[in-house]
Chain A
């Protein structure tokens, strides 16, 4: 059974360019999370979708960041324009939201380097 799939695994771009990160959650999961991981700030939640609807985007750092979830099997995180300080590992996670304690399953991450 495939886990959370992210692409690309590595992305190197130049400052000012647009970057699009992609995520395919686990089939049947109805919650999706985008996290950013850096040495300085650790793991931070950027945005949370439930049933394809953005519920909490308070972690999105700036207007340069946007996320979409057009259907239950696909989400994108876009940075436009990118800046060197955006360099980080970006994780997508999904869970099957029920009334209990829902485990989040993380993808392998996209390592973004902005030069």
Chain B
């Protein structure tokens, strides 16, 4: 059963713009929320992750915003670059449960030059 809903399915942004991808989860036991970046022909790679004890985490141009009460979290990519074009997956799991990672359906981001 899908426990993490991700939107939009696809996103086109101009170079220099802000890309925003949203996710919502159902299981309040989840306490670890990673985002993965996947390029064509490659496996997903961890981009950035957040735990619910903070509302925001920033790493370079990538920021996760987390709203625990709404059970929502989002990825913001500032100053989007063509090299950011990839598929992005949000995920959620209970930190100690390695085998219980639930992935969103993915967002295909295209950054136009």
Contacts and interface: CB of A to CB of B under 8 A. Distances in A.
B is bound to A: yes
Interface of B: 2, 32, 34, 36, 41-46, 49, 51, 89, 95-96, 98-99, 101, 103-106
B32 A93 contact: no
A51 B2 CA distance: 28
Q: In which size bucket is the chain A interface?
A: 20 to 34
A33 B34 CA distance: 17
A51 to B, nearest CB: 12
Task: Summarize A's interface: helix, strand, loop or mixed.
Answer: strand
Interface in A87-112: 91, 93, 95, 97, 99-109
Contacts of B104: 42
Contacts of A104: 46, 98, 101
Nearest to B99: A48
A55 B36 CA distance: 24
Contacts of A45: 99, 101
B10 to A, nearest CB: 12
A97 B98 CA distance: 8
A9 B102 CA distance: 25
A43 interface: yes
